[in-house]
């Protein structure tokens, strides 16, 4: 057994520990708290006919709870170490070997938030691609595999934390290594879905701009639409975290704590955008180059506005009734007056 470090050695090792990472995570959790309160209020005052209101609120509550638990455990560990050991050499051991039960709680919270964020990204990819199951076969399989790996990794962690010297703990300890495949599969799901969502949004934006159609349901900047819809913030933080983890960099703890908060912030921003009515309608994702439905027949008739429908035999759009009314007559019966 190695002798305990001297005070000088302990002080030198303490300077290498990322002691600021819990502070950064607490700061991000404070920003997340403001976003969570605003998002819950926005979803709550949304029209009651929205069938997904309760689901959105439950998802945001789970994500926020997981992020808050992770930040609270990280902060409690560092505060307890300083309060119990002060400046003694034992402080180094207390910081590098925190309470295993609390560590397991933080791991469960982070794994749950990662899995939920991945499922939301898969769902959004399925939505923007016109609800095509063929597009999301790979991320669904990868998410299922990641869930299995996360469960095995947690089983190993819990067994070791419960009784590290028992026979069952020694038998289940190798399962801890399944945490790495879980992160790899989560990373693959994130890159795949983010790339497809970005490509689809760019394609839809180009089609609507080429047709000269104003998207009344998404009046924000196109770049902001891409960043929020694709959860690019989540993908970027996960990418940096995986790279630092592969390099075994001591700075990986910073990204681990930051990503635990981003895993809740990015999906919450997406849900807020959808609930606030800033996201595109499902019809716009289904056929971006023809037959986009931006208004109902009743709205077009009442306001006297112009609808958009593809002209038979041409690629252009002309003024006329809304696309909903065109579905009720044959193309030969449409009489479109030129502007």
What domains can be seen in the chain, in order of their start residue?
19-43+50-86+97-286 (1.20.1070), 297-333 (no CATH)
pLDDT category at 26 given cuts 50, 70, 90 is: very high
Q: What is the pLDDT of residue 302?
A: 42
Position 280 scores a pLDDT of 79
Q: Across the strands, what pairs with 309? A: 318
Using the CB atoms, write b or e for 127-160: b if 16+ within 10 Å: bbbeeeeebbeebbebbebbbebbebbbebbbbb
Calculate the dihedral angle through the C-alpha atoms of 270, 271, 274, 276, rounding to the nearest 10 degrees: -110
Q: What percent of the chain has pLDDT over 90?
A: 27
**How high is the pLDDT of residue 218?**
47
Q: Return the top range by mean pLDDT from 4-8, 65-69, 310-314.
A: 65-69
41-70 pLDDT per residue, tens: 988 887 666 677 888 999 999 999 999 999
The per-residue pLDDT for 293 is: 40
pLDDT digits 0-9 by tens, 74-127? 888 888 887 777 666 677 777 777 777 788 888 889 889 999 999 999 999 999
**Mean per-residue pLDDT for 162-186?**
77
Structure token pair of residue 296: 């109902």
Query: What are the residues whose beta carbons fall under 8 Å from the beta carbon of 317, sequence distance 6 or more?
Result: 211, 212, 213, 308, 309, 310, 311
What's the predicted TM-score (pTM) here? 0.76
> How far apart, in whole angstroms, are the C-alpha atoms of residue 92 and residue 329?
78
Question: d(Cα 311, Cα 102) in Å, to the nearest integer?
Answer: 64
Is the confidence at residue 289, as pLDDT, over 80?
no
């Amino acid at each position: 057994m190695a002798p305990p470090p001297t005070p000088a050695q302990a002080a030198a090792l303490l300077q290498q520990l990322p002691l600021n990472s819990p502070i950064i995570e607490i700061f991000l959790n404070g920003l997340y708290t403001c976003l969570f309160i605003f998002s819950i209020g926005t979803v709550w005052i949304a029209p009651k006919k929205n069938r997904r209101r309760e689901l959105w609120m439950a998802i945001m509550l789970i994500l926020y709870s997981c992020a808050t638990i992770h930040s609270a455990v990280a902060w409690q560990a560092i505060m307890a170490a300083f309060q119990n050991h002060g400046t003694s050499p034992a402080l180094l051991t207390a910081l590098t070997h925190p309470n295993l039960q609390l560590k397991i709680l933080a791991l469960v919270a982070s794994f749950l938030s990662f899995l939920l964020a991945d499922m939301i990204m898969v769902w959004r990819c399925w939505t923007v691609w016109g609800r095509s199951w063929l597009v999301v076969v790979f991320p669904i399989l990868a998410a299922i595999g990641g869930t299995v790996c996360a469960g095995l990794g947690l089983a190993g962690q819990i067994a070791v934390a419960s009784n590290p010297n028992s026979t069952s703990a020694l038998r289940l300890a190798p399962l801890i290594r399944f945490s790495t495949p879980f992160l790899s599969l989560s990373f693959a799901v994130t890159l795949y879905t983010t790339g497809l969502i970005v490509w689809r949004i760019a394609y839809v934006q180009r089609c609507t701009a080429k047709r000269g159609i104003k998207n009344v349901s998404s009046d924000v900047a196109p770049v902001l639409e891409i960043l929020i819809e694709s959860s690019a913030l989540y993908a970027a933080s996960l990418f940096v975290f995986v790279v630092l983890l592969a390099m075994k960099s001591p700075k990986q703890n910073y990204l681990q704590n930051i990503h635990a908060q981003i895993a809740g912030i990015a999906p919450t921003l997406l849900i807020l955008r959808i609930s606030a009515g800033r996201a595109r309608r499902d019809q716009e994702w289904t056929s971006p180059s023809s037959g986009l439905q931006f208004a109902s027949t009743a709205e077009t008739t009442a306001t006297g506005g112009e609808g958009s429908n593809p002209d038979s035999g041409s690629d252009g759009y002309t003024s006329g009734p809304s696309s909903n009314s065109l579905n009720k007559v044959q193309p030969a019966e449409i009489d479109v007056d030129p502007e």
